[in-house]
C-alpha cells in the first residue's frame, strides 16, 4: 500500500470512528434521563385505556359545590378534588388524601404530589396532624388544625405556596385577592384559542401556556408595584401553575393520548360557564366535566418529568429565572445576582446548563422544610428526601448550602407580607 493510500485509508477510518462516536453520544443524550433534551423524546407509548383512565363523577364523586364553612382556595385542582369528594368536601385535607386524590383524578406521580403536599403542610398547615386547608387557614379549637399554630391555609400562603404571575388568579398586592379567578386574565387565556372555527381543534397546550406565562410575567411588572418573583415560588410554584393546566386538565383519548385541552374542559375546571361572549365565573364551582379521562396508568407526571420541562422552558425563556421584583412602583423590576443569592454555586449562565434548574429547585425546596419535623411528618419527609437525593445524584448536582434571603428584603412584595417564610 502506498503512503498516499495509507493516508487516505487512515482519514477514512478516523472519519468513520468520529461519526460513530457522534451518533453514540447523541443516542446517549437523548435517552439519558439526566439530560434535559431527553424530555423532547415522545414518551407516550402506553396508549389509551378508557376503563382505567375514566374518572368517576357519579355516586360519592358527584359534583357538590361548597356550602357554608367549606373552604376553596387558589388551586383549581384541589378545589376540583374537594367538590367531587376525592379529598374532604370541607377543604381540610391531609397529605395522604391529597397524594391519593391527585393520582386518582389526574395521574400525578406520587413523588410530585408528595413534594407539593408536604411543602404545603409544613409551611401553611399543621405538621402535627399532616393537615392543611386548601383555602383560608383555621385557628379555632374545633378545627382539625392545631389552634396553637398560626396556619395560613393556601389562601394565606403568599410567597410560600401561592405566588404572583398566576395564570388566572390575581397578584395579591394588585387585586387584594389571590384566590378568585380574575376574569380579565381568564379571558386573555381563553381568547388565545377562541378564534379557531372548529372547537374540536383548539388546544391549550404547553407552548401556548408558556407564551401566556410570558405575557402574564410582563403584566405583573407593568401593573403590580410590589410584584415579586421569588427564588422558589418563581421557579417552582409559578411554572407548576401553567404546566399542570395541560398535563392534568387536558382530556385524554384514543386520538389524543397526551391529551387535548379544549375550551369547554378549560371552563369547567376553572368554574366558568356561559358562551364565549358572556363568560361567567362561579367561585368555588370547579368541576370535572362529563366523559373525562386522566393520564394513562404508568405515565404519571412525576417530579422528574416536571423538572425536565421546567429546564427546557427556562432555556427558551431565561427571564422566568429572574429572581427579584418591582421596588414599590410599576416597571421597576430589579433582579438579584444569582451567584450572590446561592453563594456562588450557580450563576445566570451555569443555571441554564444541564439539569441545574432542577438541581436548584430540589435543594431550595428541601431548605424550606423543617429540619426536625414533628411526629408523623418525619417518615413522609424521609421519603421525599430519598426521592430528591436520588435525583441529585443522577443529575450530578452542584451542592447548594443556602439561599441568601437578605438580598430579598429590598423588595416590598417580599418584605411586606407578614406570613412570608420562604420565597
Q: Report domain extents, the chain.
A: 50-415
Q: Which residue, among 258, 404, 407, 392, has the nearest Cα to 335 in the 3D structure?
A: 407
Check residue 256 and give its pLDDT.
94
Residue 222 burial (CB count, 10 A): 12
Check residue 129 and give its pLDDT.
86
Check if the beta carbon of residue 265 is closer than 8 Å to that of residue 279: no
For 31-55, give one letter per residue: b (16+ CB within 10 A) or e: eeebbbebbeeeeeeeebeeeebeb
Check residue 421 and give its pLDDT.
54
DSSP E strands in 324-395: the ranges are: 324-325, 334-335
Check residue 370 and give its pLDDT.
76
Sign for the CA dihedral angle at 58, 60, 66, 68 comes to positive
> In which element (H, E) is residue 133 found?
strand 131-133
Check residue 379 and give its pLDDT.
87
Residues of the chain with pLDDT under 50: 1-43, 139-149
Check residue 28 and give its pLDDT.
32
Enter the DSSP assignment of 278.
S
Q: Which residue, among 114, 105, 120, 67, has the nearest Cα to 89 in the 3D structure?
A: 67
pTM for this entry: 0.87
Check if the beta carbon of residue 127 is closer than 8 Å to that of residue 370: yes
Q: For domain 50-415, is the CATH number 1.10.489.10?
A: yes
Torsion of CA 152, 272, 200, 198, to 10 degrees: -130
Return the CA Rg of the chain.
23
Amino acid at each position: 500500500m502506498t503512503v498516499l493510500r495509507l493516508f487516505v485509508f487512515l482519514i477514512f477510518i478516523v472519519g468513520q470512528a468520529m461519526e460513530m462516536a457522534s451518533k453514540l453520544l447523541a443516542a446517549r443524550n437523548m435517552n439519558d434521563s439526566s439530560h434535559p433534551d431527553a424530555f423532547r423524546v415522545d414518551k407516550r407509548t402506553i396508549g389509551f385505556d378508557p376503563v382505567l383512565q375514566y374518572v368517576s363523577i357519579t355516586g360519592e364523586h358527584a359534583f357538590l359545590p361548597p356550602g357554608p364553612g367549606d373552604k376553596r382556595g387558589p388551586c383549581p385542582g384541589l378545589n376540583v378534588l374537594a367538590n367531587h369528594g376525592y379529598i374532604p368536601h370541607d377543604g381540610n385535607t391531609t397529605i395522604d388524601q391529597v397524594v391519593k386524590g391527585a393520582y386518582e383524578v389526574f395521574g400525578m406521580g406520587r413523588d410530585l404530589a408528595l413534594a407539593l403536599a408536604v411543602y404545603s403542610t409544613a409551611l401553611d398547615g399543621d405538621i402535627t396532624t399532616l393537615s392543611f386547608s386548601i383555602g383560608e387557614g383555621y385557628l379555632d379549637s374545633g378545627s382539625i388544625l392545631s389552634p396553637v399554630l398560626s396556619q395560613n391555609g393556601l389562601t394565606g400562603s403568599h410567597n410560600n405556596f401561592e405566588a404572583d404571575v398566576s395564570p388566572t388568579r390575581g397578584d395579591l398586592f394588585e387585586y387584594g385577592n389571590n384566590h378568585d379567578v380574575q376574569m380579565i386574565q381568564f379571558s386573555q387565556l381563553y381568547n388565545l384559542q377562541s378564534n379557531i372555527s372548529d372547537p374540536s381543534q383548539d388546544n391549550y397546550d404547553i407552548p401556548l401556556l408558556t407564551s401566556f406565562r410570558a405575557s402574564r410575567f410582563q403584566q405583573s411588572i407593568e401593573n403590580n408595584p410590589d410584584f415579586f418573583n421569588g427564588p422558589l415560588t418563581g421557579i417552582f410554584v409559578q411554572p407548576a401553575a401553567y404546566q399542570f393546566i395541560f398535563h392534568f386538565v387536558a382530556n385524554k383519548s384514543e386520538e389524543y393520548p397526551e391529551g387535548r385541552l379544549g375550551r369547554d374542559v378549560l371552563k369547567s375546571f376553572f368554574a366558568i360557564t356561559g358562551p364565549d361572549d358572556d363568560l361567567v365565573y362561579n367561585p368555588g364551582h370547579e368541576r370535572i366535566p362529563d366523559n373525562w379521562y386522566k393520564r394513562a396508568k404508568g405515565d404519571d407526571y412525576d417530579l422528574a418529568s416536571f423538572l425536565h420541562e421546567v429546564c427546557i422552558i427556562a432555556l427558551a425563556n431565561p427571564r422566568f429565572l429572574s429572581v427579584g421584583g418591582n421596588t414599590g412602583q410599576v416597571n421597576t423590576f430589579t433582579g438579584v445576582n444569582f451567584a450572590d443569592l446561592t453563594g456562588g454555586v450557580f450563576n445566570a449562565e451555569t443555571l441554564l446548563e444541564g439539569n441545574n434548574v432542577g438541581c436548584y429547585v430540589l435543594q431550595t425546596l428541601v431548605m424550606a422544610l423543617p429540619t426536625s419535623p414533628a411526629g408523623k411528618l418525619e417518615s413522609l419527609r424521609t421519603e421525599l428526601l430519598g426521592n430528591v437525593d436520588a435525583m441529585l445524584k443522577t443529575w450530578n448536582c452542584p451542592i447548594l448550602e443556602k439561599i441568601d434571603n437578605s438580598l430579598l428584603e429590598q423588595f416590598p412584595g417580599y418584605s411586606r407580607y407578614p406570613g412570608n417564610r420562604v420565597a
